[in-house]
Amino acid sequence: MSNLYQVSRWGVVPLGAGPKIAVWNLLNHIWQGAFRVAMDALVEGRLEGDVAPFVLAVI
């Protein structure tokens, strides 16, 4: 494990990591946002009927 980091166009990533880390961070960010939106909708009751179980299954 290297504790050297580089500042690149992908942000601060481990030295030599490059775009793979950036893609992972982007997917993780999208997943967290989608999860937050779905949970807000469930809590506020905006998902009704047959849609709510499907969203819960996806989460």
CB 11 within 8 A of CB 22: yes
Query: Total structural domains in the chain?
Result: 1
pLDDT at 20 (0 to 100): 72
pLDDT digits over 36-45, tens only?
887 777 777 7
The string over 20-45, giving b where at least 16 C-beta atoms fall within 10 Å of a residue's C-beta and e elsewhere, is ebeeeeeeeeeeeeeeeebeeeeeee
Residue 53 domain-assigned?
Answer: yes
pLDDT digits over 1-59, tens only?
445 555 656 566 666 666 777 777 788 888 888 888 877 777 777 666 556 666 666 65
pLDDT at 2 (0 to 100): 47
pLDDT at 35 (0 to 100): 82
CA-angle at 20, arms to 14 and 56, nearest 5°: 110
Residue 29 domain-assigned?
Answer: yes
For residue 35, what are the domain limits? 18-58
What's the pTM value of the predicted model, to 2 decimals? 0.41
